[in-house]
């Protein structure tokens, strides 16, 4: 999707330290969340207020998740 839409900006939200696999292109900004999301019981917290605050600050128009709610 990133390569198909080079004129759009993307925000990649991760819970792991910076890695080369997160470098998807110049139109992708990577932000690390302080709350880990690796456990099912932590996903509820991760998708709660921390993610909402980050998306609101970034001014996101849409949110796509491949894992979780």
pLDDT at 69 over 60: no
Tell me if 1 is assigned to some domain: no
Residue in the structure block whose two tokens are 């759009």? 8
pTM: 0.68
Domain count along the chain: 1
Tell me if 68 is assigned to some domain: no
Tell me if 49 is assigned to some domain: yes
Task: Report yes or no: 2 and 27 within 8 Å, Cβ to Cβ.
Answer: yes
Domain range for 39 is: 10-58
Tell me if 64 is assigned to some domain: no
**14 alpha carbon, distance to own chain's centre:** 5
Each residue of 1-59: pLDDT tens digit?
Answer: 888 889 999 988 887 777 787 788 899 988 887 766 667 777 777 777 788 888 898 88
| Separation of alpha carbons 53 and 17, rounded Å | 20
């Amino acid at each position: 999707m990133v390569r198909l839409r080079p004129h759009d900006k993307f925000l990649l939200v991760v819970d792991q330290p910076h890695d080369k696999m997160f470098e998807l292109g110049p139109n992708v900004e990577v932000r690390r969340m302080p709350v880990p999301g690796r456990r099912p019981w932590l996903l509820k917290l991760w998708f709660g207020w921390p993610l909402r605050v980050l998306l609101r600050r970034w001014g996101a128009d849409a949110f796509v998740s491949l894992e979780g709610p």
